[in-house]
Structure 1
């Protein structure tokens, strides 16, 4: 995965190098309302949308309802949509309910655990990224430069391929249990995990037992539950 992302980064550098001295079709939209207007127009006319949402939609109230209605209307007229979301969305019941509704309507969702940046790509003609890659930061770049859009599409497709299905069952671990399991996945012993988290080894043992129970892992002399837990973590079935 790291190698493929490095390749994308190099490709992006190559594209930027090729574009030096060449007029680039990138507009800087500072006004949030202008960004919403441009997105609304493209939602109404485009045939395909690829999206990455780091923490789900920050919209609330009427704005969220309007956005939801626009997406449902676009799906009804045949627009193809795929959306990658960060796993933290699944911890918010309201956002999870909206995700399930849109997924059932045809906006296919997948989930990743690693950080992602917000991205919208309409067809192969226009893309939006935040001016500053920080959640809820104002403004966006509207990109129409085909070479840059191709790189962004490659980034989306590679992220999509390694993401898990949103309908895939997951075990809901506590934040501390996730930390413990992540360190176990690095090959650390309970004592090493305790030192890394500045907690007692007995506390680590309790968290490990909780992970085993929530993952419903079998016990027995011929089963290594630590290995099974790590495998569940790596395929995204434990979060």
Structure 2
């Protein structure tokens, strides 16, 4: 607790990531509304990612209203894209921005978490209860949300190599022909093709040809 120009400021400094996660988990179990901004960060550890995903799904099932703004760089990671789409479908509405954003959580217009150091993966956060500061953070969120793209409109971003592979497939070439053209192994081509399928959300089914759908997306300019 400190003072700002003689007025009490309800700001608590949380030093460790463990403490931050614990306080967020407490609020997630009792709050009814969450606004979040998530920049790209370090890759989640497997167990931690599963736990976070389950916590969000549990909160949604309980009736919490969630809106989340994410940075477009998340589209570079097929696992994160799959998770984003799952949560979006479950009710955690997502939008995407290209501009840099800082990590922010606001629960029930009453409590906010803001990362102490604006660097992805850095420990600690400020826990804010001071209402005028929370109002400013909510305004920031709403302005960012208003200019963000719907997640369903976000264009998947392929790596340069994935674009090369997909471009050659669009010419009608097989994986072995693509491998020869790029002087890489056929196994490497298969890996790049799998990455394209994941980013375009094309699961393996007996009903559709994923290569055809990927080529159609490429020709329509639906990937970048």
Question: Is the TM value for this pair above 0.5?
Answer: yes
Alpha-carbon displacement from aligned partner over 1:19-70 (angstroms, at most 9, x marks no partner)? 4121210000002111111000000000000000011674221111111111
Equivalent in 106, 120, 125 of residue 140 of structure 1: 125
Q: Secondary structure at the match of 1:59?
A: coil
> Is 1:24 equivalent to 2:4 in the alignment?
no
Shift of 1:141: 0.3
- Count of matched residue positions in the alignment of Structure 1 and Structure 2: 167
Corresponding residue for 2:113?
Answer: 128
Within-5 A mapping of 1:158-177: 158-168=143-153, 170=155, 172=157
Q: Contact 2:76–2:156 at 8 Å: present in 1 too?
A: no
Q: Pick from 24, 46, 49 the counterpart of residue 34 of structure 2.
A: 49
Change in CA separation of 1:45 and 1:57 when aligned onto 2, cut-off 3 Å = farther
1:123 is displaced (CA, Å) by 0.8
Query: Tell me, what secondary structure is at the counterpart of 2:152?
Result: coil
Q: Deviations over 1:180-200 (max 9, x none)?
A: xxxxxxxxxxxxxxxxxxxxx
- Which residue number in structure 2 is paired with residue 105 of structure 1? 90
Separation of aligned partners in 1, 2:12 and 2:65: 25
Q: Cα gap change, 1:128/1:169 in structure 2, threshold over 3 Å: closer, same or farther?
A: closer
Match of 1:93 in 2: 78
SS at match of 2:101: coil
What is the SS of the residue equivalent to 1:94?
A: helix
Change (3 A) 1:76 1:31: same
Match of 2:22 in 1: 37
Question: What is the TM-score of this pair, normalised by structure 2?
Answer: 0.69
Decide which of 44, 67, 79 is 1:59's aligned counterpart.
44
Hey, what's the Cα distance between the residues in 2 that align with 1:95 and 1:84?
14
In structure 2, how many angstroms separate the alpha carbons of the residues matched to 1:78 and 1:56? 28
In the superposition, the TM-score normalised over structure 1's length comes to 0.65
Displacement after TM superposition at 1:174 (Å): 5.2
